[in-house]
């Protein structure tokens, strides 16, 4: 005798397929250290700090912007280097010194009239867990901490600071019908 299925209200909310989740995304937020950088910090004898950012991650952000995605940085750190990199990439939402990253995601979503299902977040460490769990799509670089790798929807093949953000950008663009240049795949091409 077949067993009765629990009513929809009693079942845990079903998660959409990966493709469906990717198609909903309108805002992409990312942590910095360990995601946009390799997590290393270099200090000169003068006390100056430096970080290494990968140009392909920057191009991924620019392609997302070209395709109409809102881009954001949410980090606990306070750094002029992060502000400078964000300015260079024209990232409209830069939030530094943020301890409650999920709260920041909620605020961003509300400001743009979005639900959290329309927000993607890329993080790498335990301080990103709540934001990763709350976002409609979550991803982590290949070298993220184990707890994060277990929590995210997508594990990148690339490491932090080595193309992980570009990988996520390419995934989102393809899922939403954009070609690798951030243009609609079905858009008519200009004359050659």
CATH number of the domain bearing residue 140: 3.40.50.1000
| Residue 188 counted as domain residue | no
pLDDT higher at 90 or 13: 90
As given in the structure block, the two tokens for residue 136 are 């409609």
Based on the structure, what is the number of domains in the chain?
1
Say how many Å lie between the first and final Cα of the chain, rounded. Answer: 66
Q: Which whole number is the average pLDDT over 176-192?
A: 75
What's the pLDDT score for residue 188? 61
| Residue 90 counted as domain residue | yes
Question: Would you say residue 131 has pLDDT above 60?
Answer: yes
| Residue 6 counted as domain residue | no
Q: Which whole number is the average pLDDT over 42-65?
A: 89
- pLDDT class for 7, splitting at 50, 70, 90? very low
| Residue 14 counted as domain residue | no
Q: What are phi and psi of 41, to 5 degrees?
A: -125, 130
Strands 119-122 and 137-140 come out as parallel
pLDDT more than 90, % of the chain: 76
| Residue 76 counted as domain residue | yes
As given in the structure block, the two tokens for residue 57 are 């991650």
Question: Would you say residue 22 has pLDDT above 50?
Answer: yes
C-alpha dihedral sign at 180, 184, 187, 192: negative
| Residue 95 counted as domain residue | yes
| Residue 171 counted as domain residue | yes
| Residue 12 counted as domain residue | no
Return d(Cα 124, Cα 165) in angstroms, integer: 11
pLDDT more than 70, % of the chain: 90
> How many Cβ atoms from other residues are within 10 Å of residue 116's Cβ?
17
122 with 140: CB under 8 angstroms?
yes
Q: Domain range spanning residue 96?
A: 19-175
What's the pLDDT score for residue 187? 63
Q: Which whole number is the average pLDDT over 33-47?
A: 86
- Determine if the pTM surpasses 0.75: yes
Give whole-number Cα distances, 100 to 21, 22, 70, 172, in Å. Answer: 23, 24, 20, 25
């Amino acid at each position: 005798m077949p067993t009765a299925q629990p009513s929809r209200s009693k079942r845990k909310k079903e998660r959409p397929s990966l493709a469906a989740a990717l198609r909903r995304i309108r805002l992409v937020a990312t942590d910095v250290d360990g995601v946009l950088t390799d997590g290393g910090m270099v200090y000169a004898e003068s006390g100056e700090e430096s970080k290494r950012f990968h140009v392909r991650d920057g191009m991924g952000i620019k392609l997302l912007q070209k395709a109409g995605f809102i881009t954001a940085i949410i980090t606990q750190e306070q750094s002029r280097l992060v502000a400078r990199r964000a300015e260079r990439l024209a990232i409209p939402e830069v939030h530094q010194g943020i301890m409650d990253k999920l709260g920041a995601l909620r605020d961003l979503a509300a400001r743009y009239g979005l639900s959290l299902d329309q927000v993607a977040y890329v993080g790498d460490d335990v301080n990103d867990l709540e934001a990763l769990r709350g976002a409609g799509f979550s991803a982590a670089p290949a070298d993220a901490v184990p707890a994060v790798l277990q929590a995210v929807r997508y594990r990148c093949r690339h490491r932090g600071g080595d193309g992980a953000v570009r990988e996520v950008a390419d995934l989102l663009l393809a899922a939403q019908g954009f070609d690798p240049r951030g243009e609609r795949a079905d858009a008519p091409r200009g004359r050659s």
